Amino acid sequence: MIIHSAKNLGRLILPSAIVIAAGAVNLGMKSANAAAPTATDIRIGSHADKTRFVIDISEDVKFKVFTLSDPYRVVIDLPEMGWRLPGNVMSRKTGVIDKFRYGLFRAGLSRVVLDVKKPVKIKAAFVLPPAEGKRYRLVLDLAPTSLAQYLAALRPPTSSSRQRRESDTTPEASTGILPPGRKPEKTAIRKHVIVIDPGHGGIDPGSTSGRVFEKHITLATARAIKAHLEAQGKYTVRLTRKKDSFVRLRRRIAIARAHQAELFISLHADAIRNKRIRGLSVYTLSEKASDREAAELAEKENKADLIAGMDLSTESKEVTNILIDLAQRETMNESARFAVDLVKHIRKVSKTLSNAHRFAGFAVLKAPDVPSILIEMGFLSNRADEQALRSKKYRANLARAIGNAVDGYFSRNEQVQR
């Protein structure tokens, strides 16, 4: 669960600001190897009635800033960041800022929350490029405002209220800034969104045992996972297809992104010549496959659009070409962490391959901002696997194991914000 309401956010976090900060520091250390932007210092200054909050960051970042009421807060949303701040940084408060905290909000999203002493307006928010060996600087200027104006700014943004910088003209400032009036309830009560992707469908049946098609197994299992997760009340689960229909690979990614999914789980079941081989395996994206089987499997799964008769010659290469950009790397780390955990949970209910977590260039895992995994649930070419996957009871057990891993994933990501 994220937060019950904006009101509770303040109550939950206020008494334990230092603990949270310490957690955030540890987290930053843990992911220090990842190619993520790193905050190296925070400075606060005040002049006349203006308070300036500055974060030094190792690279240019996109960010959003908005205000919340009850209590009064200013929130800066950033990409997932490392935090290597001086030890005394928390004692630096001045001007309208009473306290602040920072850390991972959820996968891919780091957050800074400023507790302000009175209603404020965001006068300016922008990123300055490095000057003379300095870091990038995210600059936020706050000034007191009337309660009426503060509350008015909490309303949903309109084009006329779009925020403008008042004093600076760097082009960086114009990117990624939301008007200060983002509706707090919207983020506050949002359930975790998970997109389940039943592989194949319609004209593309996937593999077969002769008795059953992969596309039917994947859809039946997706429904079982959806039912299990949604019964808990914490998750909204969307399927990339609800019936036996063809959905192209890039469309599956687009669905996950359109729903702002926090996890994407693609389901498959292979069939191979060697009928004795059985067991489940979990895949995450990588340019370099962990072994030849993984590479061949990815190649096979990536042909789904081709099998369905799509003309790929007019396509851009963004999906079929497995070149991984920088933005994907942290998402990939997150995906891999989930995969490792998932294998542990699944081992309790299912036979797995040795080295059950493998890597390969699966096109469907290429959403740059959604942690994504692909589960090969077993081999339809193996009698025992096939019988298990055709059993409703087995699919329910599998759904429960996946659900436990999902719970673990989100509770770990939320520890910092509590």
DSSP letters, 391-412, are -HHHHHHHHHHHHHHHHHHHHH
C-alpha–C-alpha distance, residues 294 and 298, integer Å: 6
379 or 410, CB closer to Zn ion? 379
Among 23, 199, 201, 371, binds Zn ion (CB under 5 A): 199
Supply the minimum distance, in Å, between the C-beta of residue 270 and Zn ion.
Answer: 6
Complex with Zn ion: residue 112 or 269, whichever CB lies closer = 269
SS (H, E, C) 234-250: CEEEEECCCCCCCCCHH
* Residue among 120, 105, 118 nearest 67 (CA): 120
CA atoms within 13 A on the CB side of 152: 7
Tokens 């992104």, residue? 257
CB of 200 to Zn ion, least distance (A): 6
Q: From 26-34, 199-207, 224-232, 401-409, give the range in contact with Zn ion by CB under 5 A.
A: 199-207
> From CA 384, how far away is CA 276, in angstroms rounded?
9
Q: Is residue 201 near Zn ion by the rule CB under 5 A?
A: no
Residue among 182 and 200 whose Cβ is closer to Zn ion: 200
- Of 194-202, 219-227, 247-255, 381-389, the window that binds Zn ion (rule: CB under 5 A) is 194-202
Q: Which tokens sit at 130?
A: 């490095």
For residues 204 to 233, the per-residue mask of contacts with Zn ion, x marking binding by CB under 5 A and - elsewhere, is --x---------------------------
- The residues, any chain, with a CB within 8 Å of residue 108's CB and separated by 6 or more, are 79, 80, 330, 331, 334, 369, 371
In terms of CB distance, is 72 or 362 closer to Zn ion? 362
Q: Which stretch binds Zn ion (CB under 5 A): 57-65, 67-75, 299-307, 390-398?
A: 299-307
Q: Which is nearer to Zn ion, 103 or 198 (CB)?
A: 198
Residues binding Zn ion: what is the number (CB under 5 A)? 4
**Looking at beta carbons only, is 23 or 199 nearer to Zn ion?**
199
Residue identified by tokens 């209910």 is: 349
Segment interacting with Zn ion (CB under 5 A) among 13-21, 108-116, 195-203, 288-296 = 195-203
Binding mask 257-296 for Zn ion (x = CB under 5 A): -----------x----------------------------
Least distance from C-beta 214 to Zn ion, angstroms? 5
Interaction pattern, residues 151-190, with Zn ion; x per rule: CB under 5 A: ----------------------------------------
Cα distances (angstroms) measured from residue 155 to each of 3, 67, 410: 20, 10, 29
Q: Which stretch binds Zn ion (CB under 5 A): 91-99, 175-183, 200-208, 231-239?
A: 200-208
Stretch near Zn ion under the rule CB under 5 A, chosen from 162-170, 174-182, 301-309, 346-354: 301-309
Amino acid at 347: R
Q: How far apart, in Å, are the Cα atoms of 255 and each of 259, 340, 406?
A: 6, 25, 19
> Shortest distance, CB of residue 129 to Zn ion, whole angstroms?
46
For residue 28, which amino acid is it?
G
Taking CA atoms, 140 is separated from 51, 121, 137, 417, in Å, by 8, 10, 10, 22
Q: Which residue number has the CB closest to Zn ion?
A: 268
Q: Is 217 or 416 the residue whose CB approaches Zn ion more closely?
A: 217
DSSP reduced 3-state for 184:
helix
CB closer to Zn ion, 114 vs 267: 267
Angle at 407 between CA 278 and CA 266, to 5 degrees: 45
Which residues of the chain form contacts with Zn ion (CB under 5 A)? 199, 206, 268, 301
